[in-house]
Amino acid sequence: MDKKNALRAGALAAGTTLMMLLMTSPALAVTRDDGDDPGPGLSVMETLGLYVVAPLAIFAVIAGLVMVLDKSHPEHRVSAKPKAASKA
């Protein structure tokens, strides 16, 4: 019974997706709207800088600030090698 329900759900999802794709008309994107004034396109280097380098730089700055401004106690920090337990 589960297999039949799964097939029915898959067919419904595929049919819905197909209908949505058929109803959207990319041909309407060719006509310009009133007041539409697109600027010049971005070069490959500008695109890579904007969508790859800038987010990585922002991540690096935030991670660096977190590491530098860390105020936790050294004994609470996680280290790569566990310290040997002191014998009392």
Model confidence pLDDT, tens digit, residues 7-64: 999 999 999 999 888 877 666 667 777 777 878 999 999 999 999 999 999 999 999 9
Task: Specify whether the CB–CB gap between 55 and 47 falls below 8 A.
Answer: no
Is residue 22 a part of any domain in this protein?
no
Domain of 57 in residue numbering reads as: 42-71
In our burial notation (b when 16+ CB lie closer than 10 A, e otherwise), range 58-70 reads eeeeeeeeeeeee
The answer as to whether 23 is a domain residue is: no
| Whole-structure pTM value | 0.48
Within-domain flag for 27: no
Q: What is the pLDDT of residue 39?
A: 84
Match 């310290």 to its residue by tokens.
83
The string of DSSP codes covering 4-19 is HHHHHHHHHHHHHHHH
**Residue 4: its pLDDT value, please?**
87
Is 49 among the domain residues? yes
Does the residue 3 lie in any domain?
no
User: Residue 64: inside a domain, yes or no?
Assistant: yes
Query: Is 36 a member of any domain?
Result: no
Say how many domains are in the chain.
1
Q: By three-state DSSP, how is residue 15 classified?
A: helix
What per-residue confidence (pLDDT) applies to 64? 93
